[in-house]
Structure 1
Amino acid sequence: MSQAFVREREGGEAFEDLPDRAISPHPNFVTAEGLARIEGEVARLQTEFAALKPGAKADEARVTRDLHYWTARLGTARRVDPMPGDVVRFGSTVTILLDTDTRQVFRIVGEDEADPAHGTLSYVSPMARALTGKVIGDVVDVNGHEAEITDIA
């Protein structure tokens, strides 16, 4: 193994310089659930930081970095409550029928709460952008496939 990967840098530990987590340039729109999650992360990290053992530099660096990120996200969070209606917008749950006869259901949420595998899409994702502003019956192109909007909740 190369010494570059195992040797500590002069004057400190290699893990003291963890890079900051990237913060999105987009407005930080969140749902009520997303805001609660951010608040929960800040509280959890503050508790974890207070419980760190002296000399746990790697843990301190990680917790400090994550606490910085989530505190910044909390400070810029703009809660957006869903507006009922027949137009897809932030907070909408949208059902689409793909041209392969597959139905998919997605909720459009903030960037930090998005998890496509669990049915939530970031409002800045290509699919959410394609769906936003559309109504039931509209057809959109999703990754080279057509998808018809069949329900909006």
Structure 2
Amino acid sequence: MSVAFTKEESSETAAETLLPDRPISPHPNLVSEAGLKALELQLRQARDAYEATTAIEDVNERRRQAATPLRDTRYFAARVHSAQLIPHPTSTDTVSFGSTVTFSRDDGRVQTYRIVGEDEADPKAGSISFVSPVAKMLIGKAVGDIVEAGGQELEITAIS
């Protein structure tokens, strides 16, 4: 039955349950081993959250509660399916995906980041996405190389 022929409350509920999909990046879905495991865990958690909503008797409330886990399940299933596992780098000669790179800024700050996939990136925790502007500039560079980022010079001091 069309929502147009139901109570107004139901049309509001229908609008709440039709959440748009989470945007999927146009970049290749490169992941580290830890990143892939995290995506698989998030997919399981989203599926479990969706399954938990099946016990809700009120159909409108069940739809409301299921909307986010259903959207997350679609997102994480797509990300797991498209994941390209990149092995940990075997060389520390140059910065690459999976490298941990330390650099000093010309203002004296020293920062260390691991270059990872988009879903795994968390700058506050010390990881940046391989598609971030800083990572793009650092990839392929060696210790001692200097790159310019945001009007500052970054000198690579260590790669591990």
- By the TM > 0.5 criterion, same fold? yes
Q: Distance in 1 between matches of 2:9 and 2:64?
A: 13
Is residue 2:86 matched to residue 1:80? Answer: yes
Could you tell me how far 1:84 is from its partner in structure 2? 2.6
Equivalent residues in 2 for 1:83-102, closer than 5 Å: 83-85=89-91, 86-102=93-109
Q: Considering only CA atoms, is the larger Rg found in Structure 1 or Structure 2?
A: 2
Is residue 2:112 matched to residue 1:105? Answer: yes
1:36 maps to which residue?
37
Does the 8 Å contact 2:13/2:63 carry over to 1?
A: no
Q: Distance in 2 between matches of 1:8 and 1:104?
A: 53
Does the 8 Å contact 1:28/1:110 carry over to 2?
A: yes
Q: Distance in 2 between matches of 1:45 and 1:144?
A: 42
Does the 8 Å contact 2:47/2:70 carry over to 1?
A: no
CA pair 139-9 structure 1, distance change in 2 beyond 3 A: farther
Equivalent residues in 2 for 1:1-150, closer than 5 Å: 10=11, 13-52=14-53, 53-54=56-57, 55=59, 56-85=62-91, 86-150=93-157
Q: Which stretch shows the higher mean deviation, 19-28 or 79-88?
A: 79-88
Could you tell me how far 1:13 is from its partner in structure 2? 2.5
Could you tell me how far 1:123 is from its partner in structure 2? 0.3
Seq. identity, %: 42
Matched to 1:20, the amino acid is: D
Give the unaligned 5+ runs of structure 1.
1-6
Q: Distance in 1 between matches of 2:151 and 2:36?
A: 33
Could you tell me how far 1:149 is from its partner in structure 2? 0.1
Q: Distance in 1 between matches of 2:78 and 2:38?
A: 14
Does the 8 Å contact 1:8/1:14 carry over to 2?
A: no
Q: Distance in 2 between matches of 1:121 and 1:11?
A: 40
2:3 maps to which residue?
none
Matched to 1:66, the amino acid is: D
Give the aligned length. 147
CA RMSD, 1 decimal: 1.6
Runs ≥4 in structure 1, deviation > 4 angstroms?
A: 7-12
CA pair 8-132 structure 1, distance change in 2 beyond 3 A: farther
Matched to 2:68, the amino acid is: R
